[in-house]
Structure 1
């Protein structure tokens, strides 16, 4: 259903200026975080999972969604793997933006910048269409337009675009039955950092940390009565 609203030029202009200022403030904050954290690779989790063999990553869009029974089994399998490897999930909202929220948390230590992450990934898709359009079985312009919308599920093509855009090796601990580890690497540059996600296959992404190196903001707080 299309909702029609009366046009108010002054109000629209004011809203637009406010939105631009907000985006500028967000960009400044993101630049500051990147300057502090983007330069170094964190190899702690890589060492923890060094015995795992990754499978080749093939970018693809979402064409299959598991049944409720299969999804339940997959989720139990993923939880077991998290426990075995001592990993902690930072759970993000399941609102269709989970891949971008999880990537945002890994990049900026907050899932709240998912809109910026999505925008940058779509820019990458449009700027380097020759790298990705062969994996998209639809009109590529339609795919990019669709992926631009908030709430549109990210897929394995957007993960590859994210790896390329952010110069990051993206590591997925998955619920796949046959393998639990997938690596997505930049196609034409060396990775500058690692981003770790859990992937409940075709259902949900979360941000992933080594439980021993969990950022302080995510550590559970002790009850005050336990401190005495």
Structure 2
């Protein structure tokens, strides 16, 4: 009986280790494919906005949602900027996860990986509290608890945490009247990748591509992310 338990335990352990290995393999492959594709696009996108001045990024929580008139004008302004710079949006679902979906699309070419991206951002916020706490105008644990929930809107604090966690420069084309372009750089490290997002201020994030380069989505397995 004791020997049977050992065999069952060994079998279970072997299966678990195999599952972990599959998980790591899937993550590695997804990252490599995304980086290969991203490297082709970064240069082309960067040239389109290279002449624009970027203001220093200050992490902050979300402000008030604009009223209908302001939101409409903001969207029109963003649309005009997209046309001007030859950019196009891959539309993200408006389920409260749009920032994380847009980041997931840029990182892994799959917005469905948003839970994985949120999880990593929360780890960054939790383990490096001193970097972000001063920008959060509430009890920090309450902020983390709220931000962990699927459907909770990301803010400029989570964008900074994403840049730091993934070693990425996040280039943000905005609808702000006085600020067209924001660069969010990782702290204390050189970025190894570049992520492109659009921001309809306080309303919605999308993933950015050059006009004509917006991909057609194909469902991919993502069991390793959950």
Instruction: Provide TM-score, normalisation by structure 2.
Output: 0.82
Secondary structure at the residue paired with 2:207? strand
| Deviations 1:163-188, CA, capped at 9 Å, x for gaps | 00000000000001112100000011
> Per residue, is there more helix in 1 or in 2?
2
Question: In the aligned structure 2, how far is the partner of 1:187 from the partner of 1:25?
Answer: 32
Question: Aligned to 1:43, what secondary structure does the other structure show?
Answer: helix
Secondary structure at the counterpart of residue 29 of structure 1: helix
Match of 1:31 among 17, 28, 38: 28
Structure 2 Cα separation of the partners of residues 71 and 113 of structure 1: 28
Query: How far is the alpha carbon of 1:48 from its aligned partner?
Result: 1.2
Relative to structure 1, the CA distance from residue 27 to residue 143 in structure 2 (aligned partners, 3 Å threshold; closer, same or farther) is farther
CA spacing shift, 1:27–1:198, aligned 2, 3 Å: farther
Task: Note closer, same or farther for the CA distance 1:129–1:83 as it changes in structure 2 (3 Å cut).
Answer: same
**Structure-2 change in CA distance of 1:140 and 1:23 (3 Å):** farther
Matched, 1:157 2:157: yes
Query: Structure 1 CA distance, aligned partners of 2:32 and 2:180?
Result: 32
Task: Structure 2 unaligned segments of length 5 or more: list them.
Answer: 1-17, 218-226
Give the corresponding residue for 1:11.
Answer: none
| TM-score (structure 1 length as normaliser) | 0.81
Q: CA deviation at 1:210?
A: 1.2
Alignment correspondent of 1:206: 206
- Shift of residue 88, structure 1, vs aligned partner: 1.0
Q: Deviations over 1:72-130 (max 9, x none)?
A: 00000000000111101000100000000000000011100000000000000001000
Alpha-carbon distance in 1 for matches of 2:115, 2:166: 15
Corresponding residue number in structure 2 for 1:148: 148
Partner of 2:129: 129
Q: Where in structure 1 are there 5+ consecutive unaligned residues?
A: 1-20, 219-228
